[in-house]
Amino acid sequence: MTPPSTRTLSKSDFTLARDCETKLHFRENRFPESGGSSPYVRLLADGGYMVDALAQAQRPDGILLDYGRGPDVDAAETRAYLERDTVTLFQATLLAGRRLARVDIIEKRGNVVRLIEVKAKSFDGAEHAASLAHGGAGFFRGKRAPHPHLSDWKSKFEDLTFQVLLFERCFPGLTVQPVLVLIDKGKRTTLDGVPRFFEIERHQRPDGSMSAHAAHFTGTAEDVAKLDVLTELDATEDVAMLRAEVDAEASRLEALLDAPFDRNLVTYGTKCSDCEFRGAGSPESDGFTLCWGAMATVKPHLLELFKLGLVKDGADTPIVETLPKAGRASLFDVPEALLRTKDGKIGATAERQLRQLHQTRSGERWIGKKLAANVASLTYPLHFIDFEVTRLALPYHAKMRPYGQVTFQWSCHTVSAPGAEPVHREWLNADDAWPNLMFGSTLRDAIGERDTVVVWSPFEGSRLNELKAEHTTFAEYDAGLAAWIDEMVNRRIVDLHKWASNEFYHPGMRGRTSIKVVLDALWKDDGAMRGQFAAWTGRTVAATDDPYHALPPIEIDGVVQDVREGTGAMRAYEAMMYGVEKHDLGAKAKWRQLLRQYCELDTLSMVLIFEYWRRLTSAG
């Protein structure tokens, strides 16, 4: 436990507590957090580290300050530098009382300081400017007076306001001009192969372990000019609007730093399902258990209800807030009458909610009237496909927009006849060139022009449509490819997710319909499925486990890595192509292995689920 005297309210603590103040207690007392993949792989998410490095590269006179030696030491170094008349600082530390912040960029010119916060978030600069020019409030605020900040943006401006207030406490004699730097999705870069201009530096911690930190830009000043996708915004008015609220809230949260946990102050909500302090440690150090008490282990749990946040009581308050306050957290505590409209009608959402309640009570699966016909209607061969896509904040290639699509992998299992062993094919990009066209052409070669294509969600169709729309920006128009995509998306694709949503329910699905959840629900009680998996893969996985968790991790550069979900796949690709090991052929081969085994399992999972439905309905 952190000693009370050393606890501070950092800007990240403030943002965390604004989402849920109970989390502040867990963070300050060092409860374990579930981070999924390793800190290094999380660093690669969305390429935000590149945005920070680009903003620094635009200021070649800047001084990067060290941190981690203790807030007092780091803040003293910042104070010493700010005694200069002219200076630009990166990662400066501010400390006043118990408030703490590390500022992205400080530019001091005489008595005027530009305090700059860099965010890897995009906006439309032209739309923002047009709104202001016509008397509007801009991109970030509501259209009606008093034009409050939109919920997606308020936390960003609160973060900046927290830093401004703290700076004014530290340096009351200086004038602060707040600036927000964002990615402008209306801009295009003329620099190609952008990620290769960034190198991630690894620093050694005092305990000897290696830690990956922010990157630096390796290009020239001319390259920086070509990568013109950032826009600076004067946030003076935004900070003025928020300063009183932020200051009052920061003072209140400071007072809670040493406060004992009080369950009476817990605010329950659907967000509890994904709390980062859930399931990361023992029951004694699990934040979710501390908040929910005995209700944490109730099965089936209230939080499992499909679209729980839409269900409200007679006072129009979400029941996810009121039921736990009354000590009730069972799925069966949900009053069925609240799922219907006031005139007693049942909509599509309520239909799924009621199905979940009824089938969970009975413990039996439900088979819709159309499932057998759906299965029998498909014409073999069947191509089960899955794509992996990434979008970096900074565009990968010249002429690409920020957060533009890079489709880097496909997997396909082809089944020639009912019950036949599937044949697997795949493609994974390994080149710095724009891969989307090669992605499309290799997939076309693999699955041909006429056969049935099976997916799990509209994702694959949307990505193909995006490829058709954008490929002329990077290559000559391919009329054949465009026609193939039209035919595929409009007539050949069958979405199994719709079947799982509308024509099937298993109590083990717990209101969810992701492929992993459906597979896990069926896997536990279907020996035939487990037998097929063993026969087709040569791997045996117990009924109590599931194939995704059984995917073998691989040690890369001293760190054990795994890829078991889509976000992990994106980060693994970025690590392989642009991370610390991008020049290490052995490490890149290991990242490729992780990506291949994950994507292959996604399409095999579709085959297993489809085969289960075929046996269940005696169709096809």
Is the distance from CB of 372 to CB of 585 less than 8 angstroms? no
Please enumerate in sequence order all residues whose Cβ is within 8 A of that of 108, keeping only pairs 6 or more positions apart, or say none: 82, 84, 85, 86, 87, 88, 89, 174
How far is 124 from 183, CA to CA, in rounded Å? 8
Write 126-133 long-range contacts (CB < 8 A, 24+).
Answer: 126/186, 127/186, 128/233
> Half-sphere exposure of 247 toward its Cβ, with a 13 Å CA cutoff?
12
Q: Tell me, what's the pLDDT at 620?
A: 55
Q: Strand 112-123 relative to strand 99-109: parallel, antiparallel, unpaired?
A: antiparallel
- Condensed to tens digits (0 to 9), the pLDDT of residues 366-387 reads 999 999 999 999 999 999 999 9
Q: Where does the pLDDT of residue 211 fall: very low under 50, low under 70, confident under 90, or very high at 90 and above?
A: low
Average pLDDT on 270-297 reads 90
- pLDDT at position 399, please? 87
Q: Which has the closest alpha carbon to 179: 234, 231, 119?
A: 234
Which residues does 76 contact at the CB level (< 8 Å), separation at least 6?
A: none
Q: Hey, which residues does 141 pair with through a beta bridge?
A: 149
**List of residues 6+ apart from 140 with CB closer than 8 A:** 123, 128, 149, 150, 153, 157, 238
Are 96 and 168 in contact by the 8 Å Cβ rule? The answer is: no
- Closest CA relative to residue 155, chosen from 19, 9, 8: 19
Say how far apart CA 542 and CA 537 lie, in whole Å: 14
* pTM of the shown model: 0.90
CA dihedral (75, 81, 84, 86) in degrees, to 10, reads -110
In order, the DSSP letters of 12-46 are HHHHHHHH-THHHHHHHTT-----SS-HHHHHTGG
Tell me: pLDDT of 53 over 90: yes
547-583 pLDDT, tens per residue?
998 899 999 888 888 888 888 888 888 888 888 778 8
Return the percentage of the chain with pLDDT > 90, whole number: 74
How would residue 342 be classed by pLDDT, with cut points 50, 70 and 90? confident
What is the reported pLDDT for 127?
94
Q: At residue 299, what are phi and psi to the nearest 5 degrees? A: -135, 135
**At how many degrees (to 10) do helices 585-617 and 527-537 cross?**
140
**Strand stretches in 253-376, DSSP E:** 366-367
Please tell me whether the peptide bond between 422 and the residue prior to it is cis, using omega within 30 degrees of 0. Answer: no
> Of 119-133, 198-212, 335-349, which one has max mean pLDDT?
119-133
**What would the two tokens of residue 466 be?**
């995006």
Residue 30's CB: how many other CB atoms inside 10 A? 10
* DSSP 8-class letter at 156: H
Of the listed ranges 63-67, 180-184, 556-560, the least confidently predicted one is 556-560
pLDDT digits (tens, 9 = 90+) for 577-620: 888 778 888 999 999 999 999 999 999 999 999 999 999 998 65
Structure confidence by residue, pLDDT tens digits, 382-415: 999 999 999 888 888 888 889 888 999 999 999 9
Nearest to 276 by CA among 19, 572, 8, 3: 19
Instruction: Return the residue matching tokens 């009329």.
Output: 479
Residue 256's pLDDT band (cuts 50, 70, 90): very high
Lowest mean pLDDT among 7-21, 208-222, 277-291, 407-421: 208-222
Closest Cα partner for 566 from 37, 195, 43, 39? Answer: 37
- Terminal Cα-to-Cα distance of the chain (whole angstroms): 60
Average pLDDT over residues 483-490: 95
